[in-house]
Amino acid sequence: MKESPKTKTLVVITGPTAVGKTETSLTIAGELQAEIISADARQFYHELKIGTAAPTPAELQRVKHHFAGHLSIFDYYNVSRFEQEALARAEELFRHSDYVVVTGGSGLYIDALCKGIDDLPDIDPHIRNEVQQLLKKQGMEGLRSHLKSIDPEYYNEVDKANPNRMMRGIEIYLATGKKFSQLRKKQTAQRPFHIKKVILNRPRHELFQRINHRTDVMVKDGIVEEAIRFFKYRHLNALNTVGYKELFAWLENRMELHAAIEKIRIHTRRYAKRQLTWFKRYEDAQWFLPSETHNILRYVKNQ
């Protein structure tokens, strides 16, 4: 960047799903006269609105967003591309503001932007298909077993409930002959800006109530119809996520609709727990209630 190093601040506002990141981020960005970079991988796809809790048109009008709905579910995308593109966009935004706000609950994408990730190779479609067939034929246990045999280090730290993360480790090994755990960067990349990390949280019972309520709102807003519309594309990675997977199981006659909706609530609560586990590793972050915008601003501005 042309400005002197460390004259700008990247404000990361993260936390578990349904905690209230959107409203807090809009308020903070408005106070800082900043624009927002989305680091929520579920919200990258413009076709998926309801099941991903994408920002509404009114919210997008309040503060300009980047990387929200910028992809199609048919596009191939990875975290290395996000790192490169988000850094370039941040550089552009810093020319007009001292702050850029990053918000979302995808810890891997936040880590890539803040401290870097290796520029891992794009995967040959034949290799990707081979790994997808492994999942189809042997299920999650097949993925876990295969990953553990080729890269036990990565296996010990990966989210074993996330097939995409495990498939990525297998794909990298098949494409390069090297372990994913060996290829990833071992040291933090230096960034030419300050980074202030804010983690939002609520009492557990309150968070779970919000998750349950959000699920009810999604049903009212049409997530069932959205799942029906994209059912034929259920093999795509973009749709391999909580909310859609459960409804696809209903559409495949593997459970009743009421059971699928209850599974969405349960799986979303479990996802929130995994997110909190990830964020507890952030030693350079401060935790706040979503309502503590005054304290958040004071923390952000205190260099």
Q: Which of 133, 132, 127 is nearest to 173 (CA)?
A: 127
At residue 187, φ and ψ (nearest 5 deg) are -130, 155
Q: What is the CATH number of the domain that holds 248?
A: 1.10.287.890
In this structure, are 238 and 109 located in the same domain? no
In this structure, are 135 and 77 located in the same domain? no
In this structure, are 39 and 103 located in the same domain? yes
In this structure, are 137 and 236 located in the same domain? no
Q: Which two tokens stand for residue 86?
A: 């988000």
pLDDT value, residue 186: 63
% the chain with pLDDT above 70:
97
pLDDT value, residue 181: 84
If you average pLDDT over residues 166-184, what whole number do you get?
86
If you average pLDDT over residues 253-263, what whole number do you get?
98
Mean confidence (pLDDT) of the chain: 92
**Count of other CB atoms within 10 angstroms of residue 205:** 8
Asked, for residue 217, whether it belongs to a domain, the answer is: yes
Asked, for residue 236, whether it belongs to a domain, the answer is: yes
Asked, for residue 3, whether it belongs to a domain, the answer is: no
In this structure, are 33 and 71 located in the same domain? yes
Asked, for residue 1, whether it belongs to a domain, the answer is: no
In this structure, are 26 and 95 located in the same domain? yes
In this structure, are 69 and 197 located in the same domain? yes
Per-residue pLDDT tens digits for 261-278? 999 999 999 999 999 999
Residues written for the chain: 303
**Count of other CB atoms within 10 angstroms of residue 226:** 20
Per-residue pLDDT tens digits for 77-101? 888 889 999 999 999 999 999 999 9
pLDDT value, residue 303: 66
Per-residue pLDDT tens digits for 229-253? 999 999 888 898 999 999 999 999 9
Per-residue pLDDT tens digits for 184-198? 766 788 999 999 999
Asked, for residue 29, whether it belongs to a domain, the answer is: yes
Q: Which of 231, 241, 282 is nearest to 14 (CA)?
A: 282
**Count of other CB atoms within 10 angstroms of residue 40:** 22
**Count of other CB atoms within 10 angstroms of residue 34:** 25
Q: Is pLDDT of 1 > 60?
A: no
**Lowest model confidence (mean pLDDT) among 35-44, 61-70, 158-167:** 158-167
Q: How many domains does the chain have?
A: 3
pLDDT value, residue 76: 83
Domain that holds residue 139: 125-183
Asked, for residue 4, whether it belongs to a domain, the answer is: no
Q: How confident is the model at residue 6 (pLDDT cuts 50, 70, 90)?
A: confident
In this structure, are 198 and 63 located in the same domain? yes
In this structure, are 132 and 50 located in the same domain? no
Q: Is pLDDT of 2 > 80?
A: no
In this structure, are 194 and 296 located in the same domain? yes
If you average pLDDT over residues 33-41, what whole number do you get?
97
Asked, for residue 260, whether it belongs to a domain, the answer is: yes
Q: Is pLDDT of 167 > 70?
A: yes
If you average pLDDT over residues 154-160, what whole number do you get?
87
Q: CA–CA separation, 198 vs 28, rounded Å?
A: 11
Q: Is pLDDT of 3 > 70?
A: no
pLDDT value, residue 261: 98
In the sheet where 285-288 sits, what is the strand order?
A: 65-66, 36-38, 99-103, 9-14, 194-200, 285-288
Q: Do the beta carbons of residue 279 and residue 14 sit within 8 Å?
A: yes
Integer angstrom CA distances of residue 250 from 78, 214, 229, 231: 29, 20, 14, 11
In this structure, are 90 and 195 located in the same domain? yes
In this structure, are 260 and 289 located in the same domain? no
Asked, for residue 2, whether it belongs to a domain, the answer is: no
